[in-house]
Amino acid sequence: MAFLPAGSGISTVAAPLARKYAPRYRPAIHDALEVIYVPERNARHASAALLLAVLLVLSAGCVGSGQGGTAAEPGDSGDESYRTVVDSRGVEVQVPTDIKRVVTVSDGMVEGVMYGLGVEDTIVGVGSTCLQRVYNFTWPSVTGTPIVYEDGMNTASYLNPKLMDLPLVGKSGQAINYESLAALNPDLVIIRLGDCTLRYDDENVQKTIDTIESLGIPLVVLKSSHFTESADVSTIQDEIRIIGLTFGKEAEASRMSAYLEEKIAFITDRTQGISESDRPTVLVFGLSPTARTKGGAGVVYGLDTIEARFIEDLVSAKNAYRDEAYFRTVSAEQVLAIDPDVIVLSTSYGFHPPEELYNAPYYQDLQELKAVKEKRVYSMPYTPCNCDKRLEYPLEVLILAKAAHPDRFDDVDLAEWTMDFYMGLYGVDRRTAENLLEKQWLGWMLEDSGKDGEA
């Protein structure tokens, strides 16, 4: 059966009926469609079939109250099978109270929150290849010994290995496969705007939303920090709250948000009262191989990004790149002119350790940088598809803070802090927390703590 061919249009009559009734009565509508022949990839016939199926269900009394013959709207008083959730758009979405099948389009944020809320087993399809890979990287070195990092993973995938094998409905650079999505018969779709599959600059975002909604599937839309005017962590707190409401896990979501805020407060309590003259310049720098193919040295983040908000508002340092820009390619000459006090390497088309900047032959023209000569180069946790922030953002802020103000954090054991963070956030044991640290290629923390190889 062809429910709705990919890219098909839906008539102005069928679409409103689908949005109104299909979320609640999709099984009955699906059964009706089974007996209606729809020629493959015929948008007009698909639209007519959907309209006919809805009308058949209505005429059979499936949406009547059983008393007065009036339709019961999802979320009406007395209807406990659905709840109303207001998503990041401000749209009221009717979602089932008993959610069993969810498709997510996210690079790990939604899946991580769902794991923390204990509803990860409801995911039946995903929209990011970055949830389904084990990563290995090798870089050349002027020392003659290659720089090798193996078995990196997305945090969400390590916690929930089932994600690795689920059907894929979309990925970065390609449109959502609506046929594959509909075939999964989800109770709910959650998409995160600003992640790599639905980037902040993707002109097809609204088309994606309209098409999913036209299928009659409840759709909760989240907006990440890069998709809003306010590039700060409040957007992440809002996303957690919405996901909690969606699954009826408001209390658990509130505790998760409070835990993240507590970790940020631990950092900001130590970075308060730092004068302007004592604030070092910090460059979040992506050693992007794509940038190098364009003649650049890497990519930077400007004053209008959440990275800058971390540096300036939470860490009490100065964002070294003073223009407004996100993921902007810069030349070696521009980086040398900035000459930051501290460099923190972000995930940028791969993981990038300090050794790459120190020893890769293609970065020997940056060896005169102050941060390189003083060995003040650090790495963020490996974050595949790093288009926006996820639940691990307090760890990124701590790395920035300790890099900028080592004297204020000299008593903080990064490895212990990170493992405690994982255990508190996800409810995992110490061994799992240590494995997460390794999967995000933060093993250098264990080495710095003198704990490498401990049980």
Q: Is the model's pLDDT at 407 over the cut of 50? A: yes
Give the rounded percent of residues in the chain with a pLDDT score beyond 70: 78
In sequence order, what are the beta bridge partners of 64?
71
Q: What is the 3-state secondary structure (H, E, C) of the chain?
A: CCCCCCCCCCCCCHHHHHHHHHHHHHHHHHHHHHCCCCCCCCHHHHHHHHHHHHHHHHHCCCCECCCCCCECCCCCCCCCCEEEEECCCCCEEEEECCCCCEEEECCCHHHHHHHHHCCHHHEEEECCHHHCCCEEEEECCCCCCCEEEEEECCHHHHHCHHHHHCCECCCCCCCCCHHHHHHCCCCEEEEEECECCCCCCCCCHHHHHHHHHHCCCCEEEEECHHHCCCCCCHHHHHHHHHHHHHCCCHHHHHHHHHHHHHHHHHHHHHHCCCCHHHCCEEEEEECCHHHHHCCCCEEEECCCCHHHHHHHHHCCCEECCCCCCEEEEECHHHHHHHCCCEEEECCCCCCCCHHHHHHCHHHHHHCCCHHHHCCCEEECCCCCCCCCCCCCHHHHHHHHHHHHCHHHHCCCCHHHHHHHHHHHHHCCCHHHHHHHHHHCCCHHHHHHHCCCCCC
Average pLDDT estimate for 397-410: 97
Domains of the chain in sequence order: 1-72 (no CATH), 82-248 (3.40.50.1980), 273-412 (3.40.50.1980)
Q: Is the model's pLDDT at 119 over the cut of 90? A: yes
Could you read off the pLDDT of 273-315 as tens digits, one per residue?
Answer: 999 999 999 999 999 999 999 999 999 999 989 999 999 999 9
Give the rounded percent of residues in the chain with a pLDDT score beyond 90: 68
Average pLDDT estimate for 429-445: 92
Q: Is the model's pLDDT at 439 over the cut of 60? A: yes
Ranges 120-134, 194-208, 247-261: which has the least confidence: 194-208
Query: What pLDDT, on the 0 to 100 scale, is given for residue 200?
Result: 66
Query: What pLDDT, on the 0 to 100 scale, is given for residue 195?
Result: 87
Which tokens sit at 17?
A: 């009926």
Q: What does DSSP say about strands 281-286 and 342-345: parallel, antiparallel, or unpaired?
A: parallel
Ranges 162-176, 209-223, 261-275: which has the least confidence: 162-176
Q: Is the model's pLDDT at 120 over the cut of 70? A: yes
Query: What pLDDT, on the 0 to 100 scale, is given for residue 57?
Result: 47
Could you read off the pLDDT of 316-344 as tens digits, one per residue?
Answer: 999 999 998 888 999 999 999 999 999 99
Q: Is the model's pLDDT at 210 over the cut of 50? A: yes
Name the residue among 454, 442, 436, 439 with its Cα closest to residue 414.
442
Query: What pLDDT, on the 0 to 100 scale, is given for residue 197?
Result: 85
For the chain, the average pLDDT equals 84
Q: What does DSSP say about strands 135-139 and 147-152: parallel, antiparallel, or unpaired?
A: antiparallel
Instruction: Give the number of C-alpha atoms closer than 13 A to the C-alpha of residue 69, restricted to the C-beta side.
Output: 2
Q: Is the model's pLDDT at 194 over the cut of 90? A: no
Query: What pLDDT, on the 0 to 100 scale, is given for residue 65?
Result: 34
The letter for the amino acid at 406 is P
> Which span out of 54-58, 190-194, 232-236, 447-451 was modeled with the highest average pLDDT?
190-194
Q: Are 339 and 366 in contact (CB under 8 A)?
A: no
Q: Is the model's pLDDT at 398 over the cut of 50? A: yes
Q: Is the model's pLDDT at 70 over the cut of 60? A: no
